[in-house]
Structure 1
């Protein structure tokens, strides 16, 4: 069974139980208890279905050795009774050797199964945790848009689903599954031991089992509450981790030292940590104050374990062998009243499973793309497009009307925050307009095969991605469906003005572009900008018919900026190009320039036309010209 199908079945069962409870809201206290127990049973069964992610051999092996352990404890109780009885009857070990062999065999079986269980638990939980992380990546990458990646709820659930716990002991979805298997084995062992005890002392067996299970339920309820408190405070954990990264990570290292912020950042990290942990500490103090009942039940059950069989033996109800059997069986039953590490694994790991379930229910992968395929070089039209980010009242775009014509070099200018980058995301289908529509060749982009559409455009984002890979891959990944042949990669680098860079790198195109490793190299901002421009040119050479440059000269020097239009824009041939830049000297030769302000296009035309109109573009261009003239004179 595929992981997605298994996961869907598990979640459907739990969801169905919740729906049943919601449809029957008016029920008695008994009904509430019964439905709660039923919901827990369904949830626990759903956990066991995760075993499919661990493979048949390991999963069946874990279930098998757990079954052996479940039967080993009552077997040792019977074997201990036989051994003691044989010793008592024969007044020595000679006649008790067969019973001794059975007892030692039971102990060896128990210890061997216990060792195998620990190994298999590690293998199974590791495989399941890997499957959970893989599924989170699939859910994050599946939607055609990216809005969910900035949602607080999505990020919190993704963090929780992949969280490995707060302590030295891993407590994740995988450990929740293996803990459930372990606890089912312990419960089976307890019931079997209670049956053995009931053969001699039925009343003690029933009372002891009931008291221990009641005590266990009370203790577990307290810890489940604590885990719930910790889950609600996960936002504080994320803040603490952020300040830890700022304090110790390389990204902020320069500013932290330059401005002397180390003490301030450490104080902020400590304050966030204390704010986050204070909630947990308060919950723990409350649990400690509730321990009177559990201590009393534990003491009462312990007295029953020791006194009950002893009184029966004194009264002649039990002989020596039967007394030993009852003591060992009673101790096995009594032990279920304790809280095991696996109980905490289960309680904490269930939070990760529930977070994954919420993501599954709210971010299911879309059906296979069946939209319309548009031909290359189609007209793109923003028709009365408005857009607001989720939770924001301000419109980033407000009734935008804009055409991107085939083979045209279009420049978009405007102040920061006017929606230029948002326009790119709408163009790529990464967001859907709040109102209006974006059409490609007359077809609404929402009805277009988005994957096919994205194979026709490429974007150089202002905050571009620096892949920790070779120079060759950093260029060729713009068109991953084509082989990264060296000739095409070198040509793109040459056209982007980065040809000399290749000759300075120790391994040429094979040089890893990251700091780690002896042969790794990082690049300057300008060098990276040239590599990313080469990435776009490589994509155009392999079929992309629309290329978008978002602030393409931000990290280039004056000479490279001056050459950008002549060198790069001409290199894209008859493909359409959209240039977004604050540096107007870069885009003055564009076929058409539009000025974006307040979410609308307020001016449109060629550079000369806009200068004659003496509007917003002309004002901004003259301000930049005066600035550069002043700098040139000063130098």
Structure 2
């Protein structure tokens, strides 16, 4: 089959992707210097996460490891001068000792460097998860540019190689390299003179600057391609995961998916390699030529000098070779610095984009008592729209009286689930307010308010965890309440399932783990309902059920219908459903239409009204048989 080409709008434009390339050429060095200062400031910000003691010890070991080759050069040079066949000289002992010390320090450097990286990464992961779950707005998390940054950070932490901690590790490792360089230049100055030392320094610094500048530019470029790389990763995960395997095989999508992966990969690789030639082409030749000329000049200065001792010549040649080798990518530092720091920048940008801008407060999870509405929760002229879209809620007024049940109905896309997210404080209204006993929700502790909810969303999660945790997620601090978990499972009709599972409550609910079991769609929905009821058991005062019977069979729906009053007794409840058999027993039913509440009342009142609710009820009732004309208001 033919390979489809990727859409042209996803390709990188031909203009330069590098911020430092914009403007006149004479301004670029200054901008790059500022970039290096920013990089240094970012590393200093990360250092406290590692701890002063570990950082100090790591620096000391790196400096000592960097000084060892310098001592080796001195020892071998002077030992060659003093070779007389009479035995081992002290200078030879110095050379051997320096060599052995360098070998012994290598594993110590690795251990300390990894300790630094792991401490920094642990702090960064904690910071990322805490911010994402507590301080970021959901609207911000749903932005595509945020998805790119999260993807980059997640990719780094999953691989455990190019992380912010690795960037700190790489920055500290440069101390060993520059200790070697300072030592080599100093030896050149002492052994030959300042001219040779200057030539060696120029060789090292020009080659180093060219290499690091190109590598930094390349890192910027790779990061710019993150949206396209995320597309490639999605197609790859789709082809290799089990979640789509059934449809891919039964619909014959294997060849198409393979061709799509090729097309998405080419959309990344073709322009990427084009830019790589620009980055490493002419610039590479230029700074390589400068370094080569500088090396030749330094060697000529050695050759033409008045120094006649073997020791000085040996030391000078070794020092020049060390300076010449400085123009390479240092694997222990440069790769980690560029890509690890890029992951840290992605985390910082993620925080900046998604940070709350209102005055709402948060407290550490579990430290504040839930906010309980004693009178009512009111949505007062609430307006809300997704970025770039039409209004979803347009001046909505709704009152949820404490201790009563309210049912919300409306056509698909009417904004029912959005209303729940606004009610729970996940979304903030664009205008209007959610008021709890008259107090604006924005002034309350967000965590304390959300801890009062027991929510089953329409797209509830199926945790690949033991059954116990799947239920206890409603009040995880009470996961040891075995009797309560069993009671709620029985309450939603899963008592028999519990008896069938091989490890009872400890059975993993996934076939990907040994001894695990998967559940049917209806069983998962019952489990999600048990999770919400477990939260009510342990103090939640507001119960929200979004399409609680969408995956239940007729018998399951009837059981829920019969148990509705028992399930919602004593709590403030909001039930969203398309199935009128589910909602008709609610104390109050409201109809959402056009972003507003268009009708409100009991089931009988709304049927008698003959409006939107009555027509929707009649259409649905016809699917299940003849309808009593008096009941549908004819």
Normalization by structure 1: what TM-score? Answer: 0.88
Q: Displacement, 1:42?
A: 5.2
Measure, in 1, the Cα distance between the counterparts of 2:180 and 2:281: 32
Q: Displacement, 1:531?
A: 1.4
Q: Displacement, 1:305?
A: 4.8
Superposition pairs of residues 328-343 of structure 1, within 5 angstroms: 328-341=318-331, 342-343=333-334
Aligned residue number for residue 299 of structure 1? 292
Deviations 1:502-547, CA, capped at 9 Å, x for gaps: 1221222222222233321111111111111112222222222221
Within the candidate set 619, 625, 628, 2:624 is matched to: 628
Q: Displacement, 1:34?
A: 5.6
- Tell me, yes or no, if structure 1 residue 270 matches structure 2 residue 262: yes
Measure, in 1, the Cα distance between the counterparts of 2:347 and 2:538: 39
Aligned residue number for residue 120 of structure 1? 112
Measure, in 2, the Cα distance between the counterparts of 1:116 and 1:106: 15
SS at match of 1:624: helix
Q: Displacement, 1:273?
A: 1.2
Superposition pairs of residues 218-617 of structure 1, within 5 angstroms: 218-290=210-282, 291-312=284-305, 316-341=306-331, 342-363=333-354, 368-369=362-363, 374-389=371-386, 391-482=387-478, 484-617=480-613
Measure, in 2, the Cα distance between the counterparts of 1:160 and 1:598: 39
SS at match of 1:512: coil
Within the candidate set 59, 63, 76, 2:72 is matched to: 76
Aligned residue number for residue 8 of structure 1? none
Contact 2:456 2:548 in 1 (8 A): yes
SS at match of 1:477: helix
Contact 1:198 1:204 in 2 (8 A): yes
Aligned residue number for residue 158 of structure 1? 150
Q: Displacement, 1:36?
A: 5.0
Aligned residue number for residue 19 of structure 1? none
SS at match of 1:489: helix
SS at match of 2:407: strand
Q: Which sits farther off after the overlay, 574-583 or 114-123?
A: 114-123
Contact 1:129 1:162 in 2 (8 A): no
Task: Evaluate the alpha carbon distance shift between residue 235 and residue 617 of structure 1 in structure 2; reply closer, same or farther with a 3 A threshold.
Answer: same
Aligned residue number for residue 104 of structure 1? 96
Aligned residue number for residue 5 of structure 2? none
Measure, in 2, the Cα distance between the counterparts of 1:165 and 1:226: 21
**Unpaired runs of at least 5, structure 1:** 1-26, 631-635
Aligned residues: 596
Q: Displacement, 1:576?
A: 2.0
Q: Displacement, 1:556?
A: 0.7
RMSD in angstroms over aligned alpha carbons? 2.8
SS at match of 1:417: coil
Measure, in 2, the Cα distance between the counterparts of 1:395 and 1:220: 50
Contact 1:73 1:193 in 2 (8 A): no
Superposition pairs of residues 144-223 of structure 1, within 5 angstroms: 145-164=137-156, 170-199=161-190, 200-223=192-215
Task: Evaluate the alpha carbon distance shift between residue 69 and residue 144 of structure 1 in structure 2; reply closer, same or farther with a 3 A threshold.
Answer: closer
Task: Evaluate the alpha carbon distance shift between residue 49 and residue 184 of structure 1 in structure 2; reply closer, same or farther with a 3 A threshold.
Answer: farther
Measure, in 1, the Cα distance between the counterparts of 2:25 and 2:222: 28
Contact 2:371 2:451 in 1 (8 A): no
Q: Displacement, 1:155?
A: 2.4
**Unpaired runs of at least 5, structure 2:** 1-22, 627-634
